[in-house]
Structures are given as structure tokens and as C-alpha cells.
A and B are shown apart, each in its own frame.
Chain A
């Protein structure tokens, strides 16, 4: 981590976004150091391609740089917002779908929540999420992953798996119910 990044170590995400809104490049570098790992991992899992993942990751931070003055801190936690944006961009890239025209802060609005940027809380959260995913029955987990990491719809999943559409819907709903209960934070 660079000296500049050390200087921002205690700064909250909200504080860094305010600095970015004032064109502070060092603040963007610090935010990149803080979140690029999980964003890159997600995008790489979706695209399975180094070069495409690099392009999408850069695009996410470039977009943050451009819209920072409009990012409303009250509208949601930054990391979730970045994850939603990264997933949508990676899926659009994968499925060769155009991004929506109104690709801005409202499109990816997430709800506000307690800050999760303390390392102990982060690690606890990661363990909780991984446990919840591993406890899903194999079939449900597989359907959820097709929807989450490949952006497939009910019908596309039914076509690929050969399962009746109603069965796919029920299993995916059941998986989401289980995850919702596990993710109540």
C-alpha cells in the first residue's frame, strides 16, 4: 500500500467519495485499494477472462470518478453499490447486452446499512455469506449461480437444465428465501 493510501486508511468510504467529487485522484486510488479485490474477483468469476475483467473493473472506477459529485451518501452503502454496478456491467458484457441509458446512481440504488468497513466485521460477514451459500442444496445453489453469475432468466435456466419452468421458479424462490434469512444483517 502506498504512503498516500496509508494517509486515507482511517477515512470512511463516504469521506473518500466526497474527496473524489472534488477531483482528488489520491482518494480514488485509496478507494480502489480498498474495494478492487472483491470487485475484480466478482467480475472475473462472471467473465472468466482476464482482459475483459480488467476493462470492466477500470470502467467501474472511471464511472465512480465521473458521477461522484452526484452520489448521495444517504442512498446507500458504497461497496454494495459498486458490487451491483460491477455485476451489471460484467453481465452486460457477457451477454452482449447494452447498458441502460440511465446508467447512473439511481439505477443501482441500494439501501443504507451499518458500515461494514471494519476488518473483523468484514471477515465475519464473508464467513456468514459463504456458510449460507454452502448450505443451499446442490440443485438450488446451481440455479442461483446461473442467475447470479451468468445473468440467466427463469426460461433460459429451464432451457439449459431441462427442468420444467415451474420447478426452476420454485427452486430459485426457495434458494432466495434461504439466502434472505441468512443475509439478514
Chain B
């Protein structure tokens, strides 16, 4: 994964542990270097923790607490050194302050040198690892885009503003098994509490959400979906649309259509 996850649900799915190994690894490598996304993950964890409240509450048996407190008490007692342990040993001479300080200084110098080398090696390793992941992700991304753009049976759809075809515009490259590429230009920023939501409208049934997004300051936005919901046999994509919806998106469109388009 090169950029930030596109949808808020990606953080929920990661926190839930529902992502398969490859998707999980891609997101994990991104999270390691992105503070903003780590915060979103923490928020997703807090939110999902609430689902536990749906379980009817049962009081744990009393003996669990007793056993726990016994263990805690034993750990605390073990952590306090006994009087016997404080008696001077036959190695007391070696523990004289001057000798101890000299040893400590030597150990500190050696440790510093080792830590410095270790840190440099780790940095090099981390940088190469990040570079490798970036190249892998970039190659996968390019393959998806190339496959969609060059596929002879890819549907190419131009989406324009419902009432005025002169300004915001988007293109969809859609293939039922290869995925979908969406690219929009000249889109104004959505209001604070709103997001844009992309919909696939099947020839039968309700629209299917393909994600929510916000354009960048230049008014550009893109969504790449390597996998899509499987449509029932005989059902095709009738149209694509972008609507303006409450933050976080909605299961079915409720807001005004900003862009619509149908395959030729």
C-alpha cells in the first residue's frame, strides 16, 4: 500500500482482523510510518470495542478474583528483596564503589559503540525494507491500472455533472473481474460534514457502494478497487454515480447526484 487507506472501513477491517494476509501486511507497513492513520486505527479500535457491550453481562465466578489477587500478591512479594539477599557476599571486594564505577564506565562505552552500530544497521535495514515494499506495491498498482486501461473488454464510462456537463468530470474503467478505476477532476471540496460516495448501479437491484472519498485541493480524486462485489449472473453495471452523503458514507444513496454516467 503506497498511500493512505481510502476508506474509513479499512481501519475497522484491520482492527477487526478480517483482512487477509497480503492486505494486512500492506496496511501494516503503511501504519508503521503514518501517525494520522495510526490515530484512525486507534479510533476504529475504540469504536469496535463497543460491540462487546452487545454481549449480555455475566458476573465472573468469585474464585477468579481470589486466584488473581493471590498471584498478584505473590508477584509483589517476589519483587521485594529479602534481608538474606542483602547480606554482603564473598564477592564484596569486587563490588567496592570504585571498582564498580570503573566496570560500569567500561560497559557503558562498549554498549554505546554497539548501540550506535546496531542503530545504523537497523536504519539501513528499515530503509531497504520500506523501499522493497514500496516497489512491490507500486508494481501491483501499475499492473491493476494497466490491466484495466488496456483490457479490450473494459467498460469506459464518462461521468459528468447531472445538470451541467462543463465542469466536474470523472472517468470509470470497469471490468467485472479485474476491478475498477475511478478518476475525477474539478470536484469542489465537500462540505465539512459531507463526503462524496461512488456507486455502481446494477441492471437489477440496489446501488452498491464503491467507497467514499474527498478530492485533493486541486479537485482530483481517484479510487482503485482490484476486487468488486460479484454481481449475480446476467446482471451488469448499468451506470455509475457520485452522490454527496453524510460523513462516513451511507448504505444506500440519499444525497444529490453530483456525477452520473452509463457505459456506452
Contact = CB atoms under 8 A, between A and B. Distances in A.
B57 interface: yes
Contact of A126 (B42, B53, B76, B246): B53
B65 A151 contact: no
Given A58-B64, A153-B20, A177-B9, A87 B57 contact: no
A164 interface: yes
B54 A173 contact: no
B229 A170 contact: yes
B52 A109 contact: no
Nearest to B41: A109
B45 A173 contact: no
A113 to B, nearest CB: 6
Interface in B180-216: 208-209
A109 B208 CA distance: 33
Specify the main secondary structure of chain B where it touches its partner: helix
Contacts of B9: 173, 176-177, 180
B249 interface: yes
Interface residues of B, number: 54
Interface stretch (B66-74, B101-109, B163-171): B66-74
A164 B16 contact: no
Contacts of A111: 39, 42-43, 45-46
B54 A36 contact: no
Contact of B53 (A28, A33, A129, A176): A129
25 contacts: A23-B76, A25-B73, A36-B59, A36-B60, A37-B59, A37-B60, A40-B58, A41-B52, A57-B64, A57-B68, A84-B48, A109-B38, A109-B42, A144-B51, A164-B230, A166-B227, A170-B208, A176-B12, A176-B16, A177-B8, A177-B209, A178-B251, A180-B47, A181-B250, A185-B50
Interface of A: 23, 25, 28-29, 32-33, 36-38, 40-42, 44-45, 50, 53-54, 57-58, 61-62, 65, 75-77, 79-81, 83-84, 87, 91, 108-111, 113, 125-126, 129-130, 133, 144, 147-148, 151-155, 157, 164-167, 169-170, 172-174, 176-181, 183-185
